[in-house]
Chain A
């Protein structure tokens, strides 16, 4: 399960009130739906698809933010990546 969907399922990203729902009709790949049902068995398909769409949108928005930042001020250097990893791995 994508990280955002996992956080939402644990209530970390839950909205304070239940969001309004809308009923839609979708046509999806049967193999994909079977896979989703098997992978997330026990959860309603609507709930799983809802969480996965939230996660996909969050990823899309973050990618847009990074693109905009790079467009505005250029890409990060290899040294920038190295510094991030060094701080993450520091004891």
Chain B
């Protein structure tokens, strides 16, 4: 198994839906072959979706990946990551939930347009390898 999970942040989910980045296809192909789950936090849905026809492509992707609820454990883990990374604000909260979701899944790849902030949070996770992969 190459990485334990793939977690999509908002731009990661959008980029999968747009399907114009070969690197994303390569990542998902490797993951599919190895039986690695592709996960999206429910918090990312709230951030990404418009609630109208603009969601059509994203909704197609959501039928094929697994949506992870923001459990109490994940929320508390996100709070700790935010605190440890010295991050604040709504955007940092969503990023922290994304990283906490990856942590709960055993670590792995986070598909993101914001590798710097994700990396800062991921560096606060002990005992799990979490690496951002940049989407264009």
**Interface SS, B side:** mixed
Q: Is B85 an interface residue (CB 8 A)?
A: no
Binary flags per residue of B64-103, CB closer than 8 Å to A gives 1, else 0: 1110110101100000000000000000000000000100
Given contacts A65-B28, A81-B30, contact A7 B37 (CB under 8 A): yes
The answer to whether residues A73 and B131 also contact, given A3-B35, A61-B65, A81-B26 and a CB cut-off of 8 A, is no
| Contact call B22/A77, Cβ cutoff below 8 A | yes
| A residues with CB within 8 A of B | 2-4, 6-7, 10-16, 55, 58-59, 61-66, 69-70, 72-73, 75-77, 79-81, 83-85, 87-88, 90
Cβ–Cβ contact A87 & B26, under 8 A: no
In the bound assembly, the distance between CA atoms of A79 and B35 in angstroms comes to 22
Contact B37 A61 (CB under 8 A): no
On whether A3 and B28 interact (CB within 8 A), knowing A12-B68, A58-B66, A87-B131, the answer reads no
Within 8 Å by CB of A10, from B32, B104, B109, lies: B104
Inter-chain CA distance A2–B35, complex, in Å, is 7
Chain A residues, Cβ within 8 Å of B28: 62, 65-66, 69
Interface size on B, residues (CB 8 A): 43
Tell me whether A88 and B37 are in contact (CB under 8 A): no
Q: Which of B20, B63, B65, B71 is in CB contact (< 8 Å) with A73?
A: B20
Contact B69 A70 (CB under 8 A): no
Pull 28 A–B residue pairs with CB atoms less than 8 Å apart, ordered by A: A3-B5, A4-B37, A4-B66, A7-B104, A7-B105, A12-B101, A13-B39, A15-B69, A58-B66, A61-B64, A62-B28, A62-B37, A65-B61, A69-B16, A69-B19, A69-B25, A70-B25, A70-B29, A77-B26, A80-B22, A80-B26, A83-B26, A84-B133, A87-B131, A87-B132, A87-B134, A88-B133, A90-B131
Complex interface residues of chain B between 1 and 34 (CB less than 8 A to chain A): 1-5, 16, 19-20, 22-32
Task: Return the contact of A3 from the options B1, B65, B101, B133 (Cβ within 8 A).
Answer: B1
